[in-house]
Amino acid sequence: MKPVITALLLFFAYLSPAAIAEGRTLTFTEGMTSPPATLADAAWIAGLWRGEAFGGQVEENWSPPLGDSMAGAFKLVSDGKVDFYELEVIREVGNTLLLQLKHFHGDLRGWEEKDETVNFPLVKVTDTALYFDGFTIERVSDDAMKMMP
């Protein structure tokens, strides 16, 4: 397993018609099944990623695979204050992966209802990208990735 990489750069790319045309984001359609995948396919995400997005500074920290999941925490800081947090997991479910997250205000009040999560089923996996429903995580290099909604 690749060691945890710290202090990496996180790039967010906003969804554009060109990004859709290039297949950077994919949609999970009714009747579709997720492809086979394991946490080994996502292990490269582990580490601390930093960059700029949404008009502020972002930080995302992912743990390496342990058990049947990887856990991540995201925060957006604008004008020196936290705008919001996300707690995220990539879980092995059956023989595939599922990205789940919950949002929180800066004071930790949740956005979603107590027992609800925002779920992104896996659509496609390659050596350099995980394509979840409407959300892509792409490795650009050993020290940079793009996350495209």
What's the pLDDT at 23? 52
Domain locations in the chain? 5-141
Q: Say what the pLDDT of residue 25 is.
A: 85
Model pTM score: 0.82
Question: pLDDT below 70 — which residues of the chain?
Answer: 1-23
- Give residue 145's pLDDT: 87
pLDDT of residue 43: 97
Please measure the distance between the N-terminal and C-terminal CA atoms of the chain and give it in whole angstroms. Answer: 28
Residue 9: predicted pLDDT:
37
Residue 5 has a pLDDT of 32
